[in-house]
């Protein structure tokens, strides 16, 4: 019975993530979320008293995904800077294809009024990056004279660039390539030469290499015709590679000049 309840809750969180990503918080309706999840509205209210609670659960899932990824990278013994690079590549994957993360970012943008329990997912990612940079400093990987705060500001700009580029419709392979180039520039500015020499700026081998950029992130939900598929999130993917490079690297550059 408990296992069934957990499956129902997981379906609701997944459906909510899809619709928050597609429509935003205000336009996503609880009735549509329950239909996409394939459960009754009563079952939805059994697990969540309000749409705000559902939004919080979506963002909790996004935070858990981030935390588990950082922990897994740390367990395999890789340097902190490499873990940071790989975490940003994971963010690029999620920002272009994972509704829980896309919705978490969007909820943070749309509900930046500080209402609880919805949080600013961008700041959660920046905080995780800051902890990795602190570890990198302890490992002696940061260039002498580079303040952690300055390095954190650069990485915060990169994270903002990932979010903005994904929102504008940049496909993952393009975003990943531009992120690698941005890391090459950032490492020259913040990392000790010896530490940087052994770092990989490209994404780690694995599932990210197989992500299909042609997959529709917002397919029509055929089993639930009452749910209008609505417009795709963000403008169509018309941006060129140059636009994506400028989005990722210029975001970091403009922040670092403050």
> Splitting the chain (258 residues) into consecutive groups of 10 residues, what average pLDDT does each group show?
91 98 95 97 96 95 96 93 97 96 94 65 96 96 91 96 94 95 96 94 71 39 38 36 44 44
Burial (CB < 10 A; 0-12, 13-18, 19+), residue 73, is: buried
pTM above 0.95, yes or no: no
In CATH terms, the fold of domain 55-209+222-256 is Tetracycline Repressor; domain 2 (1.10.357)
CA angle 249, 103, 174 (to 5 degrees): 35
Number of Cβ within a 10 Å radius of residue 105: 26
In 3D, which of 188, 68, 193, 83 has the Cα closest to residue 134? 83
Query: What pLDDT score does 228 carry?
Result: 36
Nearest to 239 by CA among 158, 167, 157: 167
The pLDDT of residue 12 is 98
One-character DSSP codes across 206-242: SGGGG--TTS-SS---TT-TTS---PPSSS-S---HH
- The SS3 of residue 142 is strand
Q: Report the 10 Å Cβ neighbour count for 156.
A: 21
Residues 8, 13, 19, CA angle at the centre, nearest 5°?
125
């Amino acid at each position: 019975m408990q296992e069934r309840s957990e499956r129902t809750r997981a379906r609701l969180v997944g459906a909510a993530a899809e619709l928050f990503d597609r429509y935003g918080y205000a336009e996503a309706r609880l009735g549509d979320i329950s239909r996409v999840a394939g459960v009754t509205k009563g079952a939805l209210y059994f697990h969540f008293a309000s749409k705000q609670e559902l939004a919080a659960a979506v963002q909790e899932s996004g935070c858990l995904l981030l935390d588990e990824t950082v922990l897994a990278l740390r367990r395999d013994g890789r340097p902190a800077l490499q873990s940071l690079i790989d975490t940003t590549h994971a963010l690029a994957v999620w920002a272009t294809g994972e509704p829980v993360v896309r919705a978490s970012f969007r909820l943070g943008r749309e509900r930046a009024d500080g209402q609880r329990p919805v949080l600013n997912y961008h700041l959660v990612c920046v905080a995780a990056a800051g902890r990795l940079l602190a570890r990198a400093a302890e490992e002696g990987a940061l260039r002498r004279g580079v303040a952690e705060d300055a390095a954190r500001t650069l990485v915060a700009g990169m994270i903002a660039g990932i979010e903005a580029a994904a929102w504008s419709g940049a496909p993952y392979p393009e975003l990943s390539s531009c992120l690698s180039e941005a890391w090459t520039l950032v490492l020259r500015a913040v990392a000790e030469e010896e530490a940087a020499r052994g770092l990989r700026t490209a994404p780690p081998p694995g599932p990210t290499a197989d992500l299909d950029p042609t997959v529709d992130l917002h397919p029509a939900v055929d089993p639930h015709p009452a749910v209008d598929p609505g417009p795709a999130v963000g403008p169509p993917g018309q941006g060129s590679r140059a636009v994506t490079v400028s989005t990722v690297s210029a975001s970091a550059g403009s922040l670092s000049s403050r």
